[in-house]
Structure formats: C-alpha cells, structure tokens
Amino acid sequence: MLKPIIRLVTCGSVDDGKSTLIGRLLVETDSVPSDTILAAQTVRRTGSNIKAGDIDFSLLTDGLEAEREQGITIDVAYRSMFLKNGRRLIIADAPGHEQYTRNMVVAASRSDIALILIDATRGIRTQTLRHLTICSLLKVTRIALVINKLDAVGFDEGIFNQLSSELKPSLDRLGITDFEFIPVSALAGDNVARSSENFPWYSGPTLLEYVQEWPAEATVANAPRLTVQMVNRADNFRGLSGTVFGGVIRQGDEVVVLPSRAKATVARLVTFDGDQPEAADQTATTLVLEPDVDATRGDVVELADRATIPADRFSANLVWLNESELIHSRSYFLIAGSKQVGAIVTSIRHVLNINNGDHESARTLQANEIGLVEIATDSPIALSPYAANRFNGNFILVDRLTMETVGAGMIEHSLRRSGNVSEQRYAIDQTARATQKGQVAKVIWFTGLSGSGKSTVANALEQKLFDLGIHSYVLDGDNLRLGLNKDLGFTEEDRAENVRRVSEVAHLMTDAGLVVLVALVSPFERDRKQAKALFAEGEFAEVWVKTPAEVCVERDPKGLYKKAAAGQLPNMTGVGQGYEAPTDADLVIDGTMDVAENVDRLLAEFF
C-alpha cells in the first residue's frame, strides 16, 4: 500500500532558486489556483528583472510580506499537490539564510525527501554542506541534488559533472546512498516536470519523476508509542489521549506507561468515530487502560514486551540554533513531544566540521554548529536512538529564561552509566532532620556585584541566627573557589558551573536540615533560576544586594576593580562582563545601608 503523503523539504543557500523551482513545479502540475498565478504575473519583487506578463514563480511560495520585500525566504512555506500515482506531496520551502537554520531543521525533521539546490553559477557553498549534513543527521531517506541555473552557463555538461564530483565525497562521508544529481533550469522549466532537449547528455529522471518514484516505506510495526497529550476524563471513562506513531496498538495489548513503568492492558481505543479495535500509525486515539494506572501529560505508552528503558543520560547530535553560544553546565528545558524536563549538557565530545567531516574539539557550540554532546536530564525520560525511530528520538532545548528554542537534538544512544546509578532513599529525611533542630531548612541566596556587601550581610545574619539557636552555614563564593571550585575560572561557562556546584551543595545542606546562606556574585539570571529549580516551593529565597557600581568600585575590598581597570581581569563582573540584575528577587536590600538594619529586614522577611 502506498504511503498517502510524501513530505519534501527544499534546502540550499540564498538565491539558489528554491522558491522559483517549487513555484515552477506547482504550476506545471496544475497545483496553483488561476488567481494566484495571475497575481504572480502582476506583482514584482523589488529589483526584479522578470518581464511583464511572465510568472514570478518564487512568489507562489513566499507567504510573508518581508520575504517579498527582501527577496528571501524567512519562514517555512508549505504547499501541497497531488502526484499522478495518487500520493499527496507536501512541499516545505525552507529558508536559505544561515540565521534561519532553525526553520530548516524543523522542516527537515518530518521530511521523507530533501531537495538540495546548487546554483551552477556559484558552486557549492557552506550552507549547501550544512543543509546536507543536517538532512543526513535527520535521516531524510532520499536526497535530490538539483543543480540549477544551468541555462546561465549554456547547459554545460562539464559544470554539472564538476559539481557532482565535488559533492560526491560529502555524500560518501555522510553515508547517504539514495541520491540523484538532477540538472535543471527552474526559471525556464527544463527538466523540472518534463525532460528537456537542452540536456541531451542527461538520461536520468526529471525532478518530478524522482520524487514520484520514491518507494513506499513499510510501516514500522514493531515499536508503536503514544505520547500522552492529555488525560481525558469523560463521563464514563478515563483515558490517555495522543497520537500513535511507529506501529499499531490493538485492543488487548499489554502496555507499559513510562517513565513509571506501570503495566496495564488496553481495554478500549476511543476515537472521534467511536470505539475501534486498533489504532494505526499516525492515528489520534484515546487509550482506556485496565487497571486505570496513574499517568500525566508527557508520559509515554508503549507495548510492554518492547518498551524503551527510560534514562537520564544520553549521547546526542545537537544543532545549536541560538546566537548566544551553548554553555554546558547551564540548565535548559529539554522538550520531547509533550514531555518537558530540565537538562544540562555535561560534555561536548566534538564539533562537526561540515566542510570535511572532521571531528574537532570544542568547549562550546556557536550558532548553527553541529556537535556530539552528552546530556543529563533531571529525571528519566523514554527516548530512543533517532536512527531507529525518528519520532521517539528527537528533542529540542529551550532557554529557561527567554523560552527560546536554542538547540535541536537527535539521540544517538543512552549512556550505560544512566542505568548504573539510582537514588537511594533513607529513613531519615529533610523534615526529620530539620524538626530535630527545631527549624525550617531553607536557602537565602545573596547576589550582587563584587563589593556590594553580600558576604558582610551573610556573616552578620549567620551571627544573629547562631544567637537565636538556628543551625546555619555560609557558602561563600571566594571560599569555595579555594577548594571545591578551584579548577574554575570566570568565563560565562565556568560561572555557570560554579553556580551549579554551589546550588547542589546548598541542596545537600538543606536536606541535612540547615539554613544555608549563599554569598555568590552569580551574575546571570538563568543560572540563578536553575539553582532555584532544585528546591521545593518556599525553600529558596533570592536576595539582591543592590549597591551602586560606583560604591562597589570605591570599596574594592579585594582590589579587583583596580585589576580590571588595568586589563588584568577581562571577565570582571560589571566591568568586562555584564551583571543581570534580578527581575523577581524575593527581597532587595540596599548595600549602602547599615548592616544591622539589613539583617533585621532579613529576619523579619524569612524567619
């Protein structure tokens, strides 16, 4: 049975002719309404040299006004057409600009075929290789390497052969086996939907023929999964709603809910059309389980005899999409389907050189770089190797502060150490330890510029708490850098790791029932939010010691500002490196006020 839908993504550099090619294909297969064609005959881009009355095919796929004004594709434009064999083809026209790589990744992640354009007048460019590499990582099964604008070079066979030869090593290196080099002129229509006399030296398929001949994929019937989108509570049942991917789930199947690993049997499959005996691949359904096991949005339902083992450590290929570099040890949200967990990139194994395939060492990833990384999640999550299942093995990373998507990842495998380490629970817990001391465990996190008075206020507060019989401890940034954190510098990456370690120590000390006072510059808000996320509601209070920078410079208790002024401390907070003031601190105190007054405010607020 033929797959009813084929998804195709167009890739390549800016001005390689992607939009023109797709527009031409749509027109020549009668897939565009006549009024849309009429508009493309009358509307012109700024600087367009297309003759009056001729169709500007590129306008047929550009949906944003900004795209028409700039003559580029920004968003992914989706167009649909039916092929002669009855299949429906959905075309995703992806942007060519490097800054919009994220849009291209999204489009390619669901595509069966990639169409990568090369401008015959410009040759192979970096973005061509980047898109080819991404399509390989995303396991796009068929790739058409379309060499366009051959009309501009006299339909020269030599240029076609030269560009084909230049790309062949990259195809071999990436393990791409189903590909075809296709010569075309998108503007003139040569070899797009019909063979052209201008290519007497070419005997291969036209672009349309190559797409239509894509073999039907056999449905993966051995690993069905449903990611819970919502818990459906109807009058007569409670079910888990979502879409089945990767196979068929049938009434009577024994399933397991992950990550809890609770087992149950599928009692009913409820759809919009009523109860069904089974739910096929890519079918929306509601599973009614017996017994009615506990589950929530983001959980996964799989067949019990072939279920994924949840893990919290993974190796993954990561495409970095943000202008700010990847900071490992900084916590991000990992989102896979409807599941969201905190995650940290613990290691960057290498960055991929897209020009020659070399694996190069790196401490970070820059925008649009691709690297092999190791990721640790806050809790186990059921992710499969991407090569085995595209739906189960992909994820995105989201910045905790801005909620921007910063990375797109494909799981290579879970790490063995994930299954070798498990949490040990003891009879005496935090509540018991704190009750024994007659207090409530908590963290007071002091942040502010160097010289603002954080340590001074923390010291005075601890003395007062000691007099009151409250068991407390100060974690001071400088003291920790003499021991636990002596290996860390002051780059943004090292500061993130510094905050991570200190917050983990503070978490252990609150588990011991103590009141923990942290005096740490901690200049970046996302790192402070990461620290807060470790603690239960009400256990963590952020205090901003707000002291004017000029006062801090005047105090300069450690001589750091003098060194920074002399160029000896390039990463000095407030001088060479920015300080992100808290936007929602639990308390703001004035570092120029009397210390005793500030301590009284702290006692009144938190004790």
The pLDDT assigned to 1 comes to: 44
Give the separation between CA 599 and CA 492, rounded to whole angstroms. 31
Q: Report the CATH fold assignment for 314-418.
A: Elongation Factor Tu (Ef-tu); domain 3 (2.40.30)
Give the pair of three-digit tokens for residue 137.
């990582």
Confirm if 518 and 459 have CB atoms less than 8 A apart: no
Topology alike, domains 5-212 and 430-606: yes
Active site residue 195: no
Q: What is the CATH number of domain 5-212?
A: 3.40.50.300
Is the confidence at residue 68, as pLDDT, over 50? no
The pLDDT assigned to 575 comes to: 62
Average pLDDT over residues 344-354: 92
Give the separation between CA 419 and CA 400, rounded to whole angstroms. 27
Exposure b/e, 367-397, CB count within 10 A at least 16 = b = bbbbbbbbbbbeebbbbbbbeebbbbbbbbb
Q: Using CB atoms within 10 A of its CB, is residue 130 exposed (0-12), middle (13-18) or buried (19+)? A: buried
Average pLDDT over residues 23-33: 80
Q: Could you tell me which residue, 419 or 591, shows the higher pLDDT? A: 591
- Partners of 338 in beta bridges: none
Is the confidence at residue 443, as pLDDT, over 90? yes
Cα-to-chain-centroid distance, residue 333 = 9
Give the separation between CA 317 and CA 339, rounded to whole angstroms. 19
What is the per-residue DSSP string for 557-591?
A: TTSHHHHHHTTS-TT-BTTTB-----SS-SEEEET
Cα-to-chain-centroid distance, residue 65 = 28
The pLDDT assigned to 145 comes to: 95
The pLDDT assigned to 34 comes to: 72
With pLDDT > 70 as the criterion, what percentage of the chain qualifies? 89
User: Using only C-alpha atoms, what is the Rg of the chain?
Assistant: 29
Name the band, by pLDDT with cuts 50, 70 and 90, for residue 542.
very high
Average pLDDT over residues 487-503: 91
Comparing 122-126, 191-195, 216-220, 375-379, the range with the smallest average pLDDT is: 216-220
The pLDDT assigned to 66 comes to: 46
The pLDDT assigned to 564 comes to: 67
Q: Could you tell me which residue, 96 or 363, shows the higher pLDDT? A: 363
Is the confidence at residue 99, as pLDDT, over 80? no
Name the band, by pLDDT with cuts 50, 70 and 90, for residue 237.
confident
Q: Report the CATH fold assignment for 225-306.
A: Elongation Factor Tu (Ef-tu); domain 3 (2.40.30)
Is the confidence at residue 431, as pLDDT, over 80? yes
Q: Report the CATH fold assignment for 430-606.
A: Rossmann fold (3.40.50)
Average pLDDT over residues 290-304: 91
Is the confidence at residue 481, as pLDDT, over 90? yes
Q: Could you tell me which residue, 570 or 599, shows the higher pLDDT? A: 599
The pLDDT assigned to 86 comes to: 77
Is the confidence at residue 141, as pLDDT, over 50? yes
Confirm if 407 and 318 have CB atoms less than 8 A apart: yes
User: Taking the domains of the chain in order of start, what are their residue ranges?
Assistant: 5-212, 225-306, 314-418, 430-606
Is the confidence at residue 576, as pLDDT, over 60? no
